[in-house]
Amino acid sequence: MPKSYIKRILDARIYDVATETPLEPMRQLSHRLGNRILLKREDLQPVFSFKIRGAYNKLLQLPPEQRARGVITASAGNHAQGLALGAAQLGVRATIVMPKTTPLIKVNAVRMRGAEVVLHGDTFDEAAARARKLVKERDLVFVHPYDDPDVIAGQGTVAMEMLRQYSGNLEAVFIPVGGGGLAAGMATYIKYVRPETKVYAVEPEDAACLKVALESGERLRLSQVGLFADGVAVAQIGEETFRVLSETVDGVITVSTDEICAAIKDIFEDTRSIAEPAGAVGLAGLKRFIEQTDCRNSALATVCSGANINFDRLRYISERTETGEKREAVLAVRIPESPGSYLRFCRDLGDRAITEFNYRYAGDEEAHIFVGLQVATDNDRRQMVDKLKEGGYRVTDLTENEMAKLHIRHLVGGRVPGLHDEVVYRFEFPERPGALRKFLEHLAGRWNITLFHYRNHGAAYGRVLVGLQVEPEARTELLDLLEQLQYPFWDETENPAYRFFLGS
């Protein structure tokens, strides 16, 4: 075990700029999953990330002549902010090379702290190569974001605080891994102080550089890295961090994008804070561990490692959350193209909540619908699909289909040659089970539905667009029925957006 790090960690004097963050119980998630789940709130640091610890510790260890030359680093954002703040505290000139793909919120935060920002490349590795060239060109001192003993020791103070804050039996700790600095520092300290506590590294499935290295016994470079969790999007584990982690971690857990999104929601529901994707990776791994081992009544801890997220990413995260929690099934279902078919389908679903419903008329024989349904578990989803198939429906389960979730759900539609007498209405449905069925029962199969789009957005009202094939002489009857329904509605038949993209 790398015991040499323990003294470095204990000697780290980082609290001029860093904060001792709380270790908070996640009460809602603990109740739901039957364990005591603890969250180390590194998102509460002045730079909203643990990275300030390692960066500042490194700066403190530099001799005065090296500080005078100025420092440089490559970072996707959080280490950059930590180094910029630490350098400003000590009066050191800082240059930060960041990938062009870095969220703007992180770029602006670094600039606001007085550091020079150089945007280069699409990945951390490309940015790091540029930073190495600038070291020679400008005679700067390179501060590595993770593969440096002083940086690793600074990050290890997270574990020092965690074990001081929770003196009870801690079954396991789950630590996010990009380059491995946080995991190396924390794992070293945990295994020295409490060797009985399991330590698991957690990585995104599409950026699992530590997993590959441990399996092969060498630091292989990934040919491609997913950028969703940009804070841990690293193609090759660090040399020093790999050496340390090889001796300290009990295993590696990989998680999907959907599981990360679900963990972001879990953190929000318990703390009312929004973690960045990399910040929720550890919790996603903790949840995967519980699912795989059926662990119960144990104390499990993880780190919310950062909260530097672009606001415009929240829409995508929200869309993926239900699937990540395995509470939504996404299905393609074929039903007869005839009045009353939708009502029969909704009745066969029972009181199960519909989260999404997309349909566009395509022919006289068969309707293809894209539907999202609320489920309790994976097993519940499989049972529901089997039940629909037994009822005569032709069902394709798209829950794990990436293209369907990213694109197809938004493209179900288009113009229909030969479609006549179509009217289009926009509704606000009360967001409760049975609202759609009530609507269909009220129409009682009088008219053919030619278009339907609905997506649950967690508001009090669901927003729905419906197309109906209604002869001109029957439209007064339709309006009377819609008024009786008492759902707010608007006639959109002459809406230019409809006429341009959907109308015949």
Which sequence positions are flagged as catalytic? 51, 305
Per the CB < 8 A criterion, the answer to whether 113 and 85 are in contact is yes
* DSSP bridge partners of 276: none
CA nearest neighbour of 229 among 250, 210, 202? 202
Helices (H), 62-176: 64-69, 78-90, 104-112, 124-138, 149-165
| 3 state DSSP class of 116 | strand
C-alpha span between 119 and 125 (Å, rounded): 13
Evaluate the CA torsion angle 24, 181, 246, 293 in order and state its sign: positive
Contacting residues for 390 by C-beta, under 8 A, at least 6 apart: none
Per the CB < 8 A criterion, the answer to whether 228 and 260 are in contact is yes
Per the CB < 8 A criterion, the answer to whether 177 and 303 are in contact is no
3-state secondary structure 301-360: EEEECECCCCHHHHHHHHHHHHHHCCCEEEEEEEEECCCCHHHHHHHHHCCCCEEEEEEE
At residue 303, φ and ψ (nearest 5 deg) are: -120, 125
Q: How many CA atoms lie within 13 A of 95 on its CB side?
A: 22
In one letter, which amino acid is 502? L
In one letter, which amino acid is 299? A
C-alpha span between 74 and 132 (Å, rounded): 9
At residue 435, φ and ψ (nearest 5 deg) are: -65, -45
CA nearest neighbour of 456 among 441, 436, 486? 436
C-alpha span between 427 and 256 (Å, rounded): 35
C-alpha span between 174 and 253 (Å, rounded): 9
